[in-house]
Amino acid sequence: MSLTPAPKDDPHTLVSTDWLASHLKDPDLRLLDASWFLPPSERNARAEYEAAHIPGARFFDLEEISDHRSNLPHMVPPVEKFMSRMRAMGVGDGHQVVVYDSTGIFSAPRIWWTFRLMGKNDVAVLDGGLPKWQAEGRETEDLPPVIRDRHMTTQRQNHLVKDVTQVAHAAKLKQAVVVDARAPARFAGEAPEPRPGLRAGHIPGSRNLPWGNLLNQDGTMKDPAVLRMIFQEAGIDLAQPVITSCGSGVSAAILALSLERIGHRNWSLYDGSWAEWGMYEDLPVETGPAA
């Protein structure tokens, strides 16, 4: 299968700090700080945003803008809640959205995926995020943005998300390649899960591709040609549909963004990921490295 990679600066996937600097004052640009940290880090994403953010950025609270009806962590919000929160943030139709985080590339792709799921394609992740922006000596501020309501229409793209039943069916019948972004020790079941009560291991037949393998040392994403080689070396058949997974659906979006960058369009994200699969005793679990 021929894959057409995305250009270096692509407003639908990934843009550089140079691109953002040249478009920062565009009237229809909306910049979102989607920083989020795992609980052990003891970092407060909102407090860090309030102390310093790229000029004009709004804070996208991944935990608050989620489905609070679910007992799983930060599941994708209902369409109505997403639309309401975006309108309150002044994000709507006709806007070019750029999402960044203060790790480099970690939680921002999850918000990119959420917008794509809602049918919004004019959204990109800032390559290297806030650390690269600051390392280059670019401006930050601590002022809240001026918000003006903007209407948003959505058209949910259900093919971009999978639930546990769909993943179990696809894995059993080998209808798709399930790719797990967790660290090798967690994938193999050799390290305990950070969330209590979860079994250790992975979805049977899945492949392991730790999300950090897709990034350079400076937190930027590797070039599409290199990404494609990494997927292939991980034993992932890019002629097949791909379902991305991880611990709770955050780093799985880094895999999804990488697939989009290399031109692989037939992918979806398992929103519940291991937080869900590892919870159900009746679902099969494999341990050890991928076969």
Rg (C-alpha) for the chain, rounded Å, is 18
Q: Residues of the chain with pLDDT > 70: what percent?
A: 99
* Whether the Cβ atoms of residue 34 and residue 99 lie closer than 8 Å to each other: yes
Total domain count, the chain:
2
Overall average pLDDT of the 269-283 stretch: 96
Residues 173, 245, single domain; the answer is: yes
Strands (E), the chain: 14-15, 29-33, 58-59, 96-100, 123-126, 161-162, 177-180, 207-208, 242-245, 267-270
Q: Kindly indicate the confidence band of residue 1, based on its pLDDT and cuts at 50, 70 and 90.
A: low
Whose tokens are 């959205």? That residue is 97
Range of the domain at 216: 159-277
Rounded-to-integer distance, Cα 134 and Cα 126, Å:
13
Average pLDDT over residues 147-152: 90
Q: Is the pLDDT of residue 182 over 90?
A: yes
Q: DSSP string of 209-272?
A: --GGGGB-TTSPBPPHHHHHHHHHHTT--TTS-EEEE-SSSSTHHHHHHHHHHHT---EEEESS
Among 146, 133, 122, 152, smallest CA distance to 58 is for: 146
- pTM, to two decimals: 0.97
In-domain check, residue 284 = no
**pLDDT tens across 45-79, in order?**
999 999 999 999 999 999 999 999 999 999 999 99
Residues 127 and 186 in one domain: no
Measured distance CA(183)–CA(23) in Å, rounded:
36
What's the pLDDT at 189? 96
Tell whether the model's pLDDT for residue 202 goes beyond 80.
yes
User: Is residue 51 classed as helix, strand or coil in its secondary structure?
Assistant: helix
Name the domain boundary from 99, 127, 156.
156
Residues 92 and 223 in one domain: no
167 and 195 share one domain: yes
pLDDT at 2 over 80: no
Same-domain pairing of 119 and 86: yes
CA terminus-to-terminus distance, the chain: 24
User: Which active-site residues does the annotation give?
Assistant: 246
CATH number of the CATH domain containing 250: 3.40.250.10
Confidence of residue 87 (pLDDT cuts 50, 70, 90): very high
208 and 136 assigned to the same domain: no
Q: 205 and 92, same structural domain?
A: no
**Least reliable range by pLDDT among 100-104, 255-259, 287-291:** 287-291
Shared domain for 151 and 41, answered yes or no, is: yes
Percent of the chain with pLDDT over 90: 93
Mean pLDDT, residues 70-90 taken together:
96
